[in-house]
Structure 1
Amino acid sequence: MIREAELTRTPSPSRWLEVSTVRELSQLARLRGEWNALLDDSRAGPFNAWEWLYPWCRRIGSDRQPFVMLARDRGGSLTGLLPLGFEHHWVLGRTIRRLAFLGETHVGSDYLDVVARRGREEEVARTFARALWELRDQWDVLDLTDLREDSVTVRVLRETFEERRVATRLTERYVCPYETLAQGESFDDFLKRTSRRDNYLRRKKWLEKQEGYRIEKTEAPGALAAPLTDFFRLHASRWESDGGSQGIRGRGVEAFHRDATQLLAERGRLRFYTMKVGGQAVASVYGIVHGDTFIYFQSGYDPAWRNRSVGLVLVGETFRDALEAGLTEYDFLRGTESYKSDWTTKRRHTVSLRVLSPGGDGEWFVRREEGMRQVREVAKRLLPQDAVERVRRLRRRLSAVRG
């Protein structure tokens, strides 16, 4: 355990910060209250929540050693945190220590970042950047994935390391479609500025005539069992013909979502929407409310109802609910699927930042990655396209079986 005094302070006496690290899951568990208070007073994204990252550590990242950096002011108040963890790779007789975000794999965590009190983002980011530099002998590769491209953290880390003649590598990751919602705007007015208005209204009119048509919205922690079961079934059905979902696959990921949805619901952040016809669930949306934003996380529908556009109608109803709740943004997260562009006009991007510790063995990790990438590219060129797709589907199925 690194003691606080062994790390770094910002130079301004009025903005003095002290950094410590949390390296045990039991310590991480006790941070929930402080973490939540900090997140609520920050601009950080939804997947930096304790309710997301703690179950990720338990269910998916059990092989990662937490390395959560905390920044406190003179009074001991938590002012910032950086949720990292260690992953170890064995490459040609060397143990490569890769330091990365908690929550980076398997669950689609966009907008990972430093969590800092509003107005103190740059100060906290610089404090953590200097601490990472001071601790450079403890890691070989620093990989920070899926930050927003306009993140202060990206700029500050690049400046900090490049000032010390350490190269950084910035790469593009995903496009995230989103839409702003005007205060006081009606759903009918919103529909007029989309390309799906006529189809949505026609399909909804037909569905409303079906016996037992209704949409159920679930928010309470004690009411999640049925809608979550319906969601898993519908999501799996939607992707079955494509070899399985890439977003939710395997028992470990399902266990994570059972934990995370319960914790998010306890914070009033969860929204499940389930469309039923004749008592049978035919479509589902798994959403998260973060501040003034509705996050469309995942969905599913019964393929037998595809031609009735049940997914389209249910997405429209989530927009209606967001507007009626006074939310000001609707975020589809990563992916450029056509149904997202039908509802949105805006895009943001995510990026990844990589730094190799000077004198470390990170270069070996990069060489192995590059070698594996070249092997995949050669295989794609040599195999017929339908064979490549069959291999992808087989890999998804095997991944789901292994959980």
Structure 2
Amino acid sequence: MIHEDELKQGPRIGPRLDVGAVGTLSAMAGMREEWDALLDASNAGPFNAWEWLYPWCRRIAPERRPLVLTARDAAGTLMGLLPLGLETRLVMGVPVRRLGFLGESHVGSDYLDVVARRGAERAVAASFARILASLRESWDVLDLTDLREDSTTVDVLRSVFSEHDVRLSERYVCPYDVLESRGSFDAFLKRTGRRDNYLRRRKWLERQEGYRIERTESPDALAGPMTDFFRLHSARWAVDGGSQGIKGTGVESFHRDATQLLAERERLRLYTMKVGGRAVASVYGIVHGDAFIYFQSGYDPEWSHRSVGLVLVGETFKDALESGLTEYDFLRGTESYKSDWVTKQRRTVSVRVHGGSKAGRWYTRAEELARKGRNAAKQVLPGTWVEKVRRLRRRRAAVH
């Protein structure tokens, strides 16, 4: 077991950084103001925000112990943090002590990483890596998932731990694009694959009675739009066996909390398209720095032939440009509609580091055997049956 006092009394790492830890949810709750200031002074991604990770701990993984490493300079200023959680997994009767990112599961958190002030990324990541190395007998495996492939943290872990102990694996492709500063929406449309269809569909919708698009940002106005979003998201995925992105009441409760907190920070943009007073499409977006983050969406299947989802996505691009944002990020997934709007891609990776015991390697081996078994089953089953199994699993997950 890793104790908070071990980290607080650990050696000074580097000339100016001291490593400590926050090990309870109540202590983490009190970090919001300082955490927000650090995130604003960093290049870290949107899902490293306190407003995302604190409700994740409460709603998604209340049994997991937070272990948020902190790095401070000689004046006590917070220079960086590493939001981890500690859990014990029983793998074929063997207990495995696992450290992983807070926010790593259930809610689609891309670009998780060390949060560090600009210019101090390497020094902060190195301080955390070295303290974890000094305490490696207290954990069996360190799993850092969904970092950007160019993350400094990846290089630092490879330099601090032996090559034999570090495993790197690819995760997701994240389509995005850079928006021209002060560029017009018409100019943007001309270089997309959706221009003609978007303009035609929007023109038809604009002729319908009660057509409008609402943008909700106020924390006091979220209840109705979020209810519409959940309904439309569920309806869109119902024919495919249920959503992989938002499934279960716990995840919905998380998003209720997170959107409220993000709105308090003026980071949320929730778009709702209405026709005749009824919501027919919704986009859940996050503003992070100069970027618009397209997180999730939904639409009424009865309106799919009118391309309401397409039109609403186009309107989010228009709004981003008019707001002066310079990046639009679709996050994970290579769905064809994304490549019609954007032209660039970035990738995420995961890093696994084995600790000082045999349990971590046993855990990795068990995972590899399970993966081989799943792949063998896919080869035996016809493609249609594989999809049926996937849909059944999604339905069961949605129920629970």
Asked if Structure 1 and Structure 2 have the same fold, meaning a TM-score greater than 0.5 normalized by the shorter chain, the answer is yes
Aligned-residue sequence identity (percent) comes to 68
Q: Is the 8 A contact 2:232 2:280 kept in 1?
A: yes
**Aligned residue among 336, 352, 355 for 1:354:** 352
Using the size of structure 2 for normalisation, the TM-score is 0.97
For residues 94 and 170 of structure 2, what CA distance do their matches in structure 1 show?
A: 29
For residues 369 and 100 of structure 2, what CA distance do their matches in structure 1 show?
A: 21
Deviation at 1:321, TM superposition (A): 0.6
Cα deviation digits, residues 128-182 of structure 1 (max 9, x gap): 11011011011101110000000001111111112xx643111110000001011
For residues 308 and 261 of structure 1, what CA distance do their matches in structure 2 show?
A: 29
Give the 5 Å matches for 1:24-173: 24-162=24-162, 166-173=164-171
Structure 1 gap segments, 5+ residues each: none
Q: Letter of the aligned partner of 1:351 in structure 2?
A: V
Q: Is the 8 A contact 2:14 2:123 kept in 1?
A: no
Deviation at 1:88, TM superposition (A): 1.1
- Runs of 4 or more consecutive aligned structure 1 residues displaced over 6 Å after TM superposition: none
Q: Does 1:6 align with 2:4?
A: no
Aligned-residue CA RMSD (Å): 1.1
Q: What SS class does the counterpart of residue 239 from structure 2 fall into?
A: helix
Give the 5 Å matches for 1:1-400: 1-3=4-6, 5-12=8-15, 16-162=16-162, 166-400=164-398
Q: Is the 8 A contact 1:96 1:140 kept in 2?
A: yes
For residues 70 and 129 of structure 1, what CA distance do their matches in structure 2 show?
A: 12
For residues 2 and 400 of structure 1, what CA distance do their matches in structure 2 show?
A: 41
For residues 35 and 276 of structure 1, what CA distance do their matches in structure 2 show?
A: 37
Structure 2 gap segments, 5+ residues each: none
Deviation at 1:106, TM superposition (A): 0.5
Number of equivalenced pairs: 397
For residues 210 and 92 of structure 2, what CA distance do their matches in structure 1 show?
A: 62
Q: What SS class does the counterpart of residue 242 from structure 1 fall into?
A: coil
Using the size of structure 1 for normalisation, the TM-score is 0.97
Structure 1's 204 and 132: CA in aligned 2 closer, same or farther, altered over 3 A?
A: same
Q: What SS class does the counterpart of residue 100 from structure 1 fall into?
A: strand
For residues 6 and 41 of structure 2, what CA distance do their matches in structure 1 show?
A: 26
For residues 353 and 244 of structure 1, what CA distance do their matches in structure 2 show?
A: 30
Q: Is the 8 A contact 2:13 2:19 kept in 1?
A: no
For residues 176 and 11 of structure 2, what CA distance do their matches in structure 1 show?
A: 38
Q: What SS class does the counterpart of residue 2 from structure 1 fall into?
A: helix
Q: Is the 8 A contact 1:200 1:312 kept in 2?
A: yes
For residues 255 and 347 of structure 1, what CA distance do their matches in structure 2 show?
A: 31
